[in-house]
Structure 1
Amino acid sequence: MQLLSSPAIEEDAVKRFRAIMARERTGELALIQTEAQAPLRWFREVYPDLDTERATRLGIACAEQAQLTSFGPLSVPLVSACTVAEVVNLLTYLPLITKAVTTQFHPQQDDLTIRLSGNAGDPDLDCLVITYCGLALIRLIDLLVGEASEVTMHSRWPKPTLLPREAESVSRLVFDAPFSYLHMPATTLAAACRFPDPITYGLAVTQLQEALARRAGTPEFTRRVQALLDDGCGARTIQSVADEFSMSASTLKRRLAAEGTSFRELLQESLLGRASMQLLDPARSVSEVATELGYSDLTNFSHAFKRWTGSSPSHFRRVHQQP
């Protein structure tokens, strides 16, 4: 609704958006009052020829115009956060304002990588929302800290032939990455925000936790196992995870099967995500990555990674590592 009155969207496109809303028997005021999500398919309808180049430019333009402290239930904790790390923690509750983007946290020794995945089922729309969300977050952090941060966004899509010259965020955007992610140094995560209010932040986060539990799309037990696998060191076994929940391995298998997944699937997804992120860190050797993920033998890790991605860890690093 903010974007319809901004330069990010041209006048003809605004008219088409409003025509769609009239057809859907809704309007700007109704969407704002109910905090409803405008379907991404509206963008495909308004921009039938949308491709990744135009989607990138549109995502940049929208991020430049977004009013960054008016994101529904996240507004209060965003403004009252004490550090950038607390701001970043609020991405856990992103599903409360949009289901279009999913985040995965990959902490490393001196920094944090946040992987951004689109859920539109349309690569062009995924490009639009990921570019928008990543750059909007960078702008928000700069606003709350009071100066330009060292956060960068890496996009898995190619660099457009034309980029908006007036957009300050373009200098923080790196293209042709293996996947889309935000990179945050430890110094930025520790940076103090300008309007800290720890009591308000704590109360707001408690409310967000309750709201997320009510809306969670992923079954609760699966989500808890995923979080344990992503946060743990090394390669977890099904028995070690079952011990964390004070249950037998067979009970854990049954609980996951009832929710439509398996321990093997969750473990492979976690290992692949962590391996891919760590291989982008030039300070780590491939052997160190293998050891950290729980592989005692580099050959076994290489075989597993090639099975997951189709390329060896060394080849993946040569192709995707930024200079």
Structure 2
Amino acid sequence: MHRIVSRAALRVYVRRERRDCENGSAMRTAAIACEPWVTAAVLVQLLESAALPPEAAQSIRRAMADEGVTLAHLIRDALPVPLRWLAPPGTGLTAERAACIGYAAGREVRPTTFPPLSLSLISASTVAEVVRLLDYLPVVTNALHAEVTHLEPTVDIRFSPRARDPVLDAFVAFYFAAAFPRLLSLLAVRPLTLNVALAAPRPRGLPDDPCNPMPRFDAARHRLWLPASELTIECRFADHSTHRAQLAALAATRMPTDPLIEQLRELLYQRPQRVSVEAAAAALGMSVATLKRRLRAGGTAFRTLREAVSRERAIRLLGDPTVSIETVADALGYSEPANFAHAFKRWTGLAPGVFRRRLVGRAAVARAVRDAVP
């Protein structure tokens, strides 16, 4: 017998479902914001890119399925994407291969790849306005920091990846080294004298680009530079009023960034034990109340940040089958493996052993696919 539901009850149910969905998205966003992430549009570009091997695309889609999200959901809600999805543990992706993938993908970007910066990029009037948009990188990713310095007669752009993983850092650095010059070449009305240097050896398998000079490798640090005189070069689709309005919108909506969060993440990574909030505050030279207030202003909390770091480290350690689960638990500061297992299941929905078996199975599939491709 079917139960008849009143319209009022149905409205209440719909509102509750919508609220739960919004709360779930907010919690997911807050959790992801505590680890290296990129905007969902970058993930879409990668999945559509010829640079991404089929096995890597499959790994990304499996990671999305494990998290219970779809690409449409990510795009619709403009959710950040954990950078770890690009190199899931156990797939055998090396830093050298990640660098090649990142550079090839960066060569395929378009101004529309980076919402909410897209309209600002397209409407920029000069190269100088495009360069200034690097100040707004935090709305696109927290996995890269770029600093612009005017050193006459050049403009120096120094950049550094912040994923804290050799594979992901290689991807980020090489992606940016290809993507930013690509954007400038698409927007400027004439070619620029742009130089790129990378603090890494040239990866094997990185093809020559006949249309663009290769970066200089084995440099002291990652950097791009161009003559300061070229900042005044006009852009193809200049629209001053639109650009100004977009900058105002970015300034109003950009989440405030606090170096304290970065310092705390470094502290949590450096210390294997479970650091208490009191110990963290003392190490950072402030009171517990001040630390909590600063974290709250940055949209996070000490426990959220500590668990995000522990989750990242646990996933990476479990990707190595030679490391026992007991060793992983001890490395993360858990006195009992059972306590670690309980925490890990709360983070991922899976027990550590089940999670590892899935990783091992996926690694075997990825190796088989990779070996089968000539």
Segments of 4+ in structure 1 off by > 6 A? none
Residues 59 and 132 in structure 1, CA contact (< 8 A), matched pair in contact too: yes
Confirm or deny that 1:92 pairs with 2:145: no
User: CA offsets, 1:262-298, max 9 Å, x none?
Assistant: xxxxxxxxxxxxxxxxxxxxxxxxxxxxxxxxxxxxx
CA distance in 2, matches of 1:215, 1:35: 18
TM-score calculated relative to the size of structure 1: 0.64
1:41 aligned residue (67, 84, 88) = 84
* Amino acid aligned to 1:196: A
CA-CA distance at 1:16 after TM superposition? 1.8
Quick one: distance in 1 between partners of 2:118 and 2:73? 19
Change beyond 3 A, Cα 1:92–1:259 = farther
Q: What are the equivalent positions in structure 2 for 1:31-180 lying under 5 Å apart? A: 31-45=74-88, 48-165=91-208, 168-169=211-212, 171-180=213-222
Distance in 2 of aligned mates of 1:187 and 1:40? 36
* RMSD of Structure 2 on Structure 1 (CA): 2.7
Match of 1:24 among 60, 67, 78: 67
Aligned equivalents of 1:211, 1:90: Cα separation in 2:
15
Are 1:197 and 2:239 an aligned pair? yes
Q: Return the offset for 1:20.
A: 1.2
Report the AA paired with residue 253 of structure 2.
A
2:223 aligned with 1:181: yes
Structure 2 length as normaliser, TM-score? 0.56
Higher relative contact order (CA 8 A, sep 6+): 2
Change (3 A) 1:172 1:86: farther
Per-residue Cα deviation, 1:167-189 (whole angstroms, up to 9, x for no partner): 744x2411111111111211322
Select the structure of larger CA radius of gyration: 2
Compared CA separation, residues 162 and 70, structure 1 to 2 (3 A): closer
Alpha-carbon distance in structure 1 between the residues aligned to 2:94 and 2:220: 19
Deviation per CA, 1:8-44, whole angstroms, max 9, x where unpaired?
1122221221111111111211111222222111222
Q: Which runs of 5+ in 2 are unaligned?
A: 1-43, 264-284, 293-374
> CA–CA distance in 2 between the matches of 1:56 and 1:167?
19
Letter aligned with residue 218 of structure 1: P
Aligned partner (choices 223, 236, 259) of residue 218 of structure 1 = 259
CA separation in 1, counterparts of 2:130 and 2:106?
A: 17
CA contact (8 A) 1:112 1:186 kept: yes
Identity %: 33
Look up the match of 2:282.
none
After TM superposition, give the deviation of residue 259 of structure 1 in Å.
Answer: 7.0
Deviations 1:211-243 (A, max 9, x none): 22x3323369x9xxxxxxxxxxxxxxxxxxxxx
In the TM superposition, what is the alpha-carbon distance from 1:47 to its structure 2 partner? Answer: 7.0
Paired with 2:111 and 2:89, the residues of 1 have a C-alpha distance of: 24
